[in-house]
Every structure is written in C-alpha cells, then in structure tokens.
Amino acid sequence: MYDYLIIGSGLFGSVFAHEMKKAGKSCLVLEKRDHIGGNVYCEEKDGIRIHKYGAHIFHTSNKKVWDYVNQFVEFNNYVNSPVANYKGELYNLPFNMNTFSKMWGVATPTEAAAKIAEQRTAIQGEPKNLEEQAISLIGTDIYTKLIKGYTEKQWGRSCTELPAFIIKRLPIRYTFDNNYFNDRYQGIPIGGYNVLIHALLDGIEVRTGVDYNEHRDEYRKLAKTIIYTGPIDAYFDYKLGQLEYRGLRFETERLEEENHQGVAVMNYTDRETPYTRSIEHKHFEFGTQPVTYVTKEYPADWHPGEEAYYPVNDSRNSELYNQYAALAAKEENVIFGGRLAEYKYYDMDDVIASALQAVATQKE
Ligand code: FDA
C-alpha cells in the first residue's frame, strides 16, 4: 500500500509527490506517456532542448513559487521579447514605443498616443464585434497589421464574426520595453525543464506508459488517496459527454544554420501564413550550436484522442465541466488537480501554487 497514488507526472503531480515524500509519505506516480514532466517536457537534439508541447517560459510575480522552483534548478536570464512578422515587416511586441516608432516613425510617447487616439475614432459607438473592439482600443494600423490575421488564424473565424468581449483590453506601453511579461521573475531552467522535473521526482517510484483509467482495478487499491491530474471527463468515462479543446499542430525542422530567426518567438500576424508562431528553441537558452531547430505552430481543430491544449470556455463546456466537478466532489479520497482535471488554462506558476495548496490540505 502507498499513501498516495498520483496520476500524471506534470508539474502538479510532481510537486505533490515531492512534498509528500518529504513529509515521509510513500507515493507511486503513474504516467500515461513514455516520459515524465507532462507538457513542460523537452526533447534534446544536437544539444538543443525542444519544447515538445509548445514554448514554455517561466514567469511569475509569486515569490513563494519562484523561491520554490529555484531550490531545484537555477533559472537563466531569458526575457521573452517576441517579434511580429507581418508580410516581412518586423515589429516588436508587446505594443510599445519600438512598435510605434517602426509603424509610424514617431519618436515620443506623446506623438504615439496622438496617432493611436486619431485612429481609434474610426469606431464610433459600442463595438459590435472583435474587429471594432480592437480598433476602438488601439486604432486601425496596429489592428490590421498585428492583430487581425493572428486572431483569425487562432480562432478559425473572421474578426467581424467574433464577439467583442474576447478582447477586453490591449496592453499598450509608452516606453521602449520589449519585455512581454510584466512579472517580477522570469527565465528558463538552466539545463531545461527536465532538470526541474527530475529533481522533483528524485527517489519517487514512477511508472510510465500506464493509463490509470485503463487499469483502475489494478491500481485503485494500491493507495488510500488518489491525486488525479488527467482529464476529468476521462476519469468518469465521459459519461456526461466530452469536454472540448482547441488543438495545436507542431512542425519541427532541423536547419543547418546557426541562427535562423534571431529570436525565440516570432508571431506571424498576416492571414496568409498558415502558422501563428515560429519557435527557435535554442534562443531560450542562448544556444551557440552550429545547427538549429525551428517549430511552426498551427492552430488546429481538436478531435477526441488528440493532445488537449487549450480548454474551450464557452457555455456548453463550462456547464459540462461544472457537472463533472460536482461528481468529482463526491469521490472519496480523490483530489482532482492541474490543468486537465480542472479544465482550466493554468500557467506553470499557478499550477505549482495550486499543488502546494493541495499539499497543505493533506498536512492539516
Ligand atoms: P500536464 O498536462 O503537464 O500533466 C498532466 C500529466 O498527466 C501528463 O503528463 C499526462 O500524460 C498525464 N495523464 C493524463 N491522464 C492520465 C492517465 N489517465 N493516466 C496516467 N497519466 C495521465 N505556462 C507558463 O507558465 N508559461 C508558458 O510559456 C506556457 N506555455 C504553454 C504553451 C502551451 C501550448 C500550453 C498548452 C500550455 C502552456 N503553459 C505555459 C501551461 C503549462 O503547460 C501548464 O501550466 C502545466 O503544464 C500544467 O501542469 P499539469 O501537471 O497540470 O498538467
């Protein structure tokens, strides 16, 4: 018998297992995939760590979480400063003085603000759709070159057909600051995310290639308490229906050149380029290898059985999730946690904070 059976070796499961082991409890971790780490897992090729499930940049203002992860691994000083590529014209993101100066030749915050104010007047009255909302916030040029195509590719629909509420506000900075995040701390683990996961799971029994839902009878009886971090609908055999996700398709290429795009993250903001982002992984870690790996990200429809990326927070899915959550609340000695079990977009720092909170409930 174990004290805890932990389903899933992503950040939630790994942090939980680590803390419980430290508290003297025995844990068994089951992982469906053939590797540990969940979505932060990186695959290493030619000395370059490839973010297999999408680019992961650690950023947080939560000092407790920052100190927590730094016990296991040091972070480098990577600062996310993506570049937008609109038909070959390059602009800094997030929208800041560098963007405005390139777009209009303006040199001061006052000139930039005046330009935006003038262009915002293209929309009078209450915005009726996402296009009108975006123009009313930031004006026509930024909308046309940096928002329209990207958003349409992401949602698979025209901005005039998308509701205005999707964009509530657009961050505008009147400083020459290309740092994408406003958080106090940011970086990439030195040696990659696998170092963090290995340190968390050090000394803990892990079985990979095991889908708990297919082997429940065998494993349920092995522990008093279960921590379940897989999809909540799968736990209940989809008996109320399937929750939906937005999919992503990744195409990774090895290129015989040292530096392909000069930045880790490039957003393609025109409608014609079929992918939304191109990630050059080595730049997350200031790599100097003679070759490089570049991943193109294509937004895709999701089909059951495929990797689940982003939850769809429409009313059908939110209601369905609430019904599953009500069933989950009745399960005795099972804790549901993490992005799949809570059907929620979670950043890494929030998922760690949430796992630490679950740990605290066990120590009470
Ligand atoms: P995660 O999905 O990592 O782990 C769950 C594990 O459970 C998986 O390994 C899965 O295989 C396993 N599992 C599921 N069902 C099972 C079963 N039945 N039996 C056994 N095992 C099972 N965050 C951030 O802070 N900065 C960023 O830049 C990004 N970038 C980013 C890009 C993309 C494309 C996505 C989708 C997400 C991000 N994130 C992010 C969010 C980040 O990925 C997220 O916070 C963590 O991975 C969540 O960790 P979990 O442990 O909850 O889930």
pLDDT in tens, 206-254: 999 999 999 999 999 999 999 999 999 999 999 999 999 988 999 999 9
Among residues 277, 285, 309, 339, which one is catalytic?
A: 277
Cβ contact 85:269 at 8 Å? yes
Ligand 1 centre and the CA of 279: distance in Å? 19
Give the C-alpha separation, 243 to 232, whole Å. 9
Q: Whose CA is nearest to atom 27 of ligand 1?
A: 56
Mean pLDDT of 122-151: 96
Question: So what's the pLDDT on residue 16?
Answer: 98
pLDDT at 363 over 90: no
| Cβ of 230 below 6 Å from ligand 1 | yes
- Ordered by start, the domain boundaries in the chain are 2-41+54-76+184-244+311-363, 94-166
250-263 pLDDT, tens digit each:
999 999 999 999 99
Nearest Cα neighbor of 233 from 213, 258, 215 is 213
Which residues on adjacent β-strands are paired with residue 133? none
- Helix, coil or strand: residue 94: coil
> How would residue 296 be classed by pLDDT, with cut points 50, 70 and 90?
very high
Tokens representing 119?
């262009």
Strands 42-45 vs 185-187: parallel, antiparallel or unpaired? unpaired
Give the C-alpha separation, 358 to 341, whole Å. 13
Interface confidence (ipTM) of the complex: 0.99
Fold of 2-41+54-76+184-244+311-363: Rossmann fold (3.40.50)
Among residues 297, 309, 343, 349, which one is catalytic?
A: 297
Phi and psi at 45, nearest 5°, equal -135, 135
**Numbers of helices and strands, H then E, in the chain:** 12, 16
What average pLDDT does the chain have? 96
| For helices 11-22 and 348-363, angle between their N-to-C axes, nearest 10 degrees | 30
Number of alpha carbons in the 13 Å side-chain half-sphere of residue 240: 19
